[in-house]
Each structure stands twice: as structure tokens, then as C-alpha cells.
Amino acid sequence: MSGSDVRGPVLAAVCAAPAPVARILISEDNPGIQRIYSRLLPDHGFELICVPNGDGALTLDLAQSMSPQLLITDINKPTMDGHALASALRADPRTARIPLLMVTAMDQRGSARQPGLLPTDDYIVKPFPFDDLLYRITTMIDMDGYAHDDLVERALDLPCYDPHHPITGLPSLHQVASALPTRSARPGWAALEVSFANHAELIGAYGRAMVDGLAGQVGATLRRIAGPDLLVGHTGFDLGLLILGPADRLASAEPLLIERLARLSHARLSLTPAIQLSLRHADDRAGLCLSLPELRAALR
């Protein structure tokens, strides 16, 4: 049976949402895991193309013709395993740059990189927390700020699967969104944004495992500096961080934060993290009672 003979039912299985955030090709032979993708990801705005039975050869065919922004695949699959699929994708100019997320039963991020995988590709170990999957998707797809805003707004209407970010351990966007209106209603507050301005460049140079480790160190640093009067957490599913609290308290914490973050540059790295600090002050006379989407827009 040719690829064109089966593409009809494949396209009929597309799970689409209005104005999708991104298109993802799912190649998974476990029906239970495929149902998890199909049930949860479209609610967050992703368009899914699900390959029947996770067939490896058909996955390659669809990647060539559908140009997804991300391919999620398991390793053990019919007709072509995940590593052979990765090599075939990288050998074809049409698919060579599609990011690849490999789903595996064992953590292989510290192992020797398999042929066909790029530093920008990644592994996720099953069973995986859904927020960990969303973090990896948002950092692997070339997603602009407005698409991420859309993703965040959709997520705020959905359940919180984990109150903490999977990499930094800091409060997730749902926790920040819950605390933000009360915190920002107080007069004289300020917000400090911490972001990895060269995140993609770091991943391309050193791989995701090292960058995730660096992000974990940033999270630990912020936890040590912040006290109960500062709200610290994530404003999205990526590594973007918020510190919000009294303006005078934040002004005194900023130099210490800059000094501590500068120490995180690894001596062996020729490309050091460019951590961008963005400060916004509110009027001393009244608070704003901001929502998370409003604050994200103000910090842009």
C-alpha cells in the first residue's frame, strides 16, 4: 500500500484548533500515549497529525509532505525505528531541520548522541509529566512571543498539571497568575523579568541537557535571593522568569541577582548565557491588579 493510499485517513485524524499555535507530527504506536497527545495538546492550541500505528516509513513520508514544526516519535516502532527515522530525516533537505523529540523508556540525555540527532533535538522519558512535555515543545518550536501568549492564555483556562516548573522547580504560570492580581494591586511594586536572551544559541552550541542544568541553577539562585515579600515564578512554559514585589526591595536585590547570575557562566563555556533583565515600575499611588497576560504584554 503506498503512502498516497493511506493519507486520507491520516488527514481525517488531524486534531486541529482554531488558529493553531503550531503543527506537530505525532508518531506513536502505543494507543494510550497517542490518546494523551490527542486529548491534551489540541486544547493548548496545537494542530496534531497522528501517524496510524506510529509507522516509521509513513512518518517519514508525512514529514516530507506536511512540513510539521515538530516531530514527536517513540523509538521502537513498525517498519523503521526512531533512530533510523532520525537519520533519514536529516539526510533529506526537506526534513533536515525539523526538531525531533524522542520518547523513550530510559533517560538518554547524558548518553552519547545517536546518529541523526542534532543538539537542538531532545529526549523525554515516559511516563512524563504533561508540563514537562509542554516545556520541551515550546523551547523546540520556533515560537514568537505572540504565539506563546496565545498558548499561555489557553493554558490558564485549563487545569494546572504541576504547580512547579519541571526544570527550575519554581512556581508555574498558574501559581503566578493566581498570586499576581493581589501582588500587583499594592502600590509601589516593580517587576523584574529574567530571560535567556540567547537560549537557542546556547542549545545549538552545548545541547539541551547542559542548558536545562544551567536553568536549574538560575532557579536555585532566585530561590536563595527572594524572600516572602517577592513573588518569583514563570510567566510561560519556557524559561522566562518573573520577580515582583516592593520596588525598593527589588532595587536592592537586583545588583545581587546580577552578581550571582554572572557566576553561573561555566569556565569551560566560550558562549556564556546572556541573561536579560527587564525592570518595570508601577505608580507609587495605586496598584494595577494585573492579569498574567497583561503583565506579559507590559514586559515585552
Give the DSSP letter of residue 42: G
- Identify the CA nearest to 168 among candidates 231, 229, 232, 124: 232
Answer yes or no: is 147 within a domain. Answer: no
Nearest C-alpha neighbor of 235 from the set 287, 286, 184: 184
Residue 273 located in a structural domain: yes
> Dihedral (C-alpha) 129, 292, 297, 20: value to the nearest 10 degrees?
40
Task: Give the CATH number for residue 81.
Answer: 3.40.50.2300
Residues of the chain with pLDDT under 50: 1-9, 11-12, 16-17, 110, 112
Residues 57 and 177 in one domain: no
Confidence (pLDDT) at 50? 95
Please indicate, yes or no, if residue 144 is contained in any of the structural domains: no
Q: How far apart (Å, rounded) are the C-alpha atoms in residues 164 and 175?
A: 8
- Is 45 contained in some domain? yes
152 domain residue, yes or no: no
Residues 93, 9 within the same domain: yes
Whether residue 215 sits in one domain with residue 95:
no
State whether 203 and 291 are in the same domain. Answer: yes
Q: For residue 53, is it within any domain?
A: yes
- Whether the link from the prior residue into 127 is cis, omega within 30° of 0, is yes
116 and 225 fall within a common domain: no
Q: Is the dihedral of CA 85, 87, 88, 94 positive or negative?
A: positive
pLDDT at 188: 82
Statement to judge: residues 107 and 180 lie in one domain: no
Residue 134 lies in a domain: no
Give yes or no: residues 109 and 170 share one domain. Answer: no
Q: What is the pLDDT of residue 41?
A: 94
Verify that 219 and 270 share a domain, yes or no. yes
Q: What was the pLDDT predicted at 4?
A: 42
Domain that holds residue 79: 3-128
Do 88 and 185 have their domain in common? no
Express each pLDDT in 6-19 by its tens digit.
444 454 455 544 57
What is the spatial distance between Cα 182 and Cα 287, in angstroms, rounded to a whole number? 9
> Residue 279: which of 251, 257, 239, 260 has the closest Cα?
251
Among residues 248, 22, 271, 27, the alpha carbon closest in space to that of 147 is found at 22
Q: Specify the 3-state DSSP secondary structure of 175.
A: helix
Cell digits of residue 1: 500500500
Q: What's the CA gap between 176 and 184, in Å, rounded? A: 11
Q: Quote the CA–CA distance of 29 and 76 in Å, as a whole number.
A: 8
Assess whether 21 and 90 both reside in one domain: yes
The pLDDT value given to residue 268: 53
Q: Going by DSSP bridges, is the β-strand pair 275-281/189-196 parallel, antiparallel, or unpaired?
A: antiparallel
129-146: per-residue pLDDT in tens?
A: 899 999 999 989 988 778
For residue 254, give the C-alpha cell. Answer: 537586583
User: Within this chain, do residues 124 and 169 fall inside the same structural domain, yes or no?
Assistant: no
pLDDT score, position 228 = 86
The tally of domains found in the chain comes to 2
Please check whether residue 271 lies inside any domain of the structure: yes
Q: The domain that contains 232 carries what CATH number?
A: 3.30.70.270
Residues 269 and 190 in one domain: yes
Measured CA angle at 175 (ends 259, 138), to 5 deg: 75
Beta bridge partners of 74: 103
